[in-house]
A = this chain, B = another copy of it.
Amino acid sequence: MTKTAESFWIWYPGDREIWLGNIFNNRRTERGAMFPPFWKQDSHWQTVSFRKEVTLQKPETIRIFADGSYNFALDGQLQFGQPASFVVPEGRHQIDIKVHNMAAPPSLLIESGKEGSSLNTGDTWLTSYEDKIWIDENGQAHGSGIWLKPGFWPGCNDANVLPSKFQLLKTVPRTAVGHTLLDQDSRQVLYDFGQETMGYIVLHNAKGIVRIYYGESEAEALDRNRCETLDVANLYVREKTYTLPESRAFRFVLVEGEADDVSMLYEYLPHDLSQSGRFECSDGLLNRIWKVGAYTMDLTTREFMMDGIKRDRWTWSGDAIQSYLMNYYLRFDCEAVRRTIRQLRGKDPVTSHVNTILDYTFYWFNSIGDYYRYTGDTGFIREMYPRMKTLMDYTLSRLSDEGLAIGQPDDWVFVDWVDFPMHKRGILCFEQMLLIRSLETMQLCATLTGDRKNYGKLAKDLKKKTDRIFWDSEAHAYLHALEPELNRQITKFPNMFAILYGQASEEQCLEILDHVMLNPDVPAINTPYMRFYELAALCQMGLQDKVLPEIKAYWGGMLLEGATSFWEKYNPSKDDNQSEDTIPPSPRAPHLEMYGRPYGKSLCHAWGASPVYLLGRYYLGVQPLQPGYGSADCRQREPAWEARPNLGGLEWMRGDVPTPYGKIHIEVDAYTLTVSAPTGIGRGIVYYKNQQAEVRSGQHITLQL
């Protein structure tokens, strides 16, 4: 039987992500103890109905594949057993298939025969977890369930691979770059894989009890009693190769026991590198920073976008929104974004904020606005909108008496890991900025889905209240909090979001710039996480030339400390080797501890990779102005995207920014700008010094001084 059109495994929308998320988020271990998340983890619906109404000009033979037990009804008539194939007669028909699976999301794939493809499974089918079809005393069926478009993944379409067995990740063998025999008697060997990596350790010609101690740093792998991750293999007979069952993060492994050699299977999410973002410039350090950032992103972009590959290996909404933005300038992997957004949201009822964190709920909303801006995918907005509404209902039901965002006793108010004294109690101005943006996102999505609820009004009201309470025209800054007295502390957090989210007026932005962002008396931010927004806000204000040395100093600082991927936290004041000339062979003690544990810090953390975003968004200077970079078919009066390159002091730079249509290519130096637009994209507008010009689908343009 030949396929005449593609058919996909389909399931209840969001369920595969929720199910896979439970596997994903529960894999974390800490010194051999499992370490699951502390928030509600939902489940897939165990019995799902699939439906298709069709009119056939001639009979069609279909083959039915299901992940689970199933039944099949033609025009309401249940057929015997579990038919593997069926001839649907010509004419108008309704196909109803119910699939039941307690262990994994019930899924269906139908392949039509050569007669046609009308019944192939895909987004023309409908699905329900509660069809409410009951049969009366006379055998008559009545139903009133809610039917939605099913979930599916473009790559998950092989009838012979059940979706519960479908692997998103691939592996490739890699060898260590070196090893050191530490102790002959106990057969202790330290293997160095040359850089931070993730995958399965492979033991060669091993036997007996073999202990593996993992280290993101050499110090960690050597510290058998305190390293964060370890494994024990117990091989009763000698095995030529034995692959450990769990994928781990490491650069070094200390192996203790009988094994002739140790290698690994590097595990990764495949991407089409020819369609990826790229950045190159006249500054070698910046090129290295971009590459290590891109590698950090590739390591942390897996089934979902995780925070760090050693720890927590969880999906965190505040981390993920940054990964998404970096991804729009790196791999443009919209599937990974959608998977992560779905997984983070889970199901109703809402019993806590996303990841239990107030701010993380807001980032979740805002990430959907970003996704729409970069992809123009209204189908996904329609899918998520009902879950956005119930999460917003929850949010609005927990405001303060004044109608402001506040951490309730069971909420975690995160903001950032800060090194300076800062309370997180009461009503934080920072949280209002995020909530205003969330309400604006809700309004955008309400408009797209035809919901008449006026979230825009709520956003405006909250904006007014926030300005009235927190804006201090004498301090030229948004103040920190209402506790309930006004806490007049000034931090960068609310102020940089006011710039970024367009919540401050032009004049206010300039005031904030002088009195907060560039004010050395305002405490410095020491996580790449919040430096992301800090530096983006500065670039937003056109200060690329001030930001460039910051990037080189901060991320370059990590490289000088031996980083091969970027870290969860980096405080340059802890550098004790500034006087040394050489880069240490591996990051050292002062940079490894966190959470009260000597190796608690994650040395490969997605939020560490922000230069990937900053360089694409503010130096190459590309962003969509219409959702999804517009479309050549659509004759908009306004341009669909812009390239506003800013060398920020570099001699030259060139690079690619991925879009739904392929890459926008940019080359720029002090005298010439060249921009190429992929075929199909909407009309772009290009800025170079005081010139501007249009570039259309499939064209390229060169501007010269």
Contacts and interface: CB of A to CB of B under 8 A. Distances in A.
Interface of A: 19, 22-23, 26, 30-47, 49, 69-72, 78-82, 98, 100, 102-103, 129-140, 142-145, 348-349, 351-352, 356, 409-412, 417, 594-597, 600
A33 B80 contact: yes
24 contacts: A23-B102, A31-B81, A32-B82, A33-B72, A33-B79, A33-B81, A33-B82, A34-B71, A35-B78, A36-B98, A39-B132, A40-B129, A40-B130, A41-B47, A42-B43, A103-B103, A136-B595, A137-B595, A138-B595, A139-B596, A139-B597, A140-B596, A144-B409, A144-B410
Given A47-B36, A132-B356, A103 B100 contact: no
Nearest to A31: B80
Contact of A132 (B38, B71, B79, B349): B38
Copies in the complex: 2
A78 B22 CA distance: 21
A130 B38 contact: yes
Contacts of A594: 137
A49 B135 CA distance: 41
Contact of A600 (B44, B139, B417): B139
Given A41-B45, A45-B41, A145-B38, A132 B32 contact: no
B46 A43 contact: yes
A26 B100 contact: yes
Given A41-B129, A132-B410, A134-B412, 13 more contacts: A26-B46, A32-B81, A32-B82, A33-B78, A34-B82, A37-B47, A38-B130, A39-B130, A39-B132, A102-B103, A103-B103, A139-B597, A140-B596
A33 B34 CA distance: 40
Contacts of A103: 102-103
A513 to B, nearest CB: 29
Given A40-B45, A144-B409, A135 B33 contact: no
Contacts of A78: 30-31, 33, 35
A595 B138 CA distance: 4
Given A41-B47, A79-B33, A82-B33, A595 B139 contact: yes
Given A137-B417, A596-B139, A34 B69 contact: yes
A390 to B, nearest CB: 8
A137 B597 CA distance: 10
Contacts of A134: 38, 356, 412
Contacts of A30: 78
A163 to B, nearest CB: 16
A485 B36 CA distance: 58
B102 A22 contact: yes
B351 A349 contact: no
A20 to B, nearest CB: 11
A93 B580 CA distance: 49
Given A100-B34, A130-B351, A44 B43 contact: yes
A23 B595 CA distance: 43
Contact of A352 (B70, B130, B410): B130
B102 A34 contact: no
Contacts of A135: 595
B351 A596 contact: no
B33 A143 contact: no
A145 B38 CA distance: 9
Contact of A26 (B47, B49, B130, B600): B47
A136 B414 CA distance: 9
Contacts of A34: 69-71, 82, 98, 100
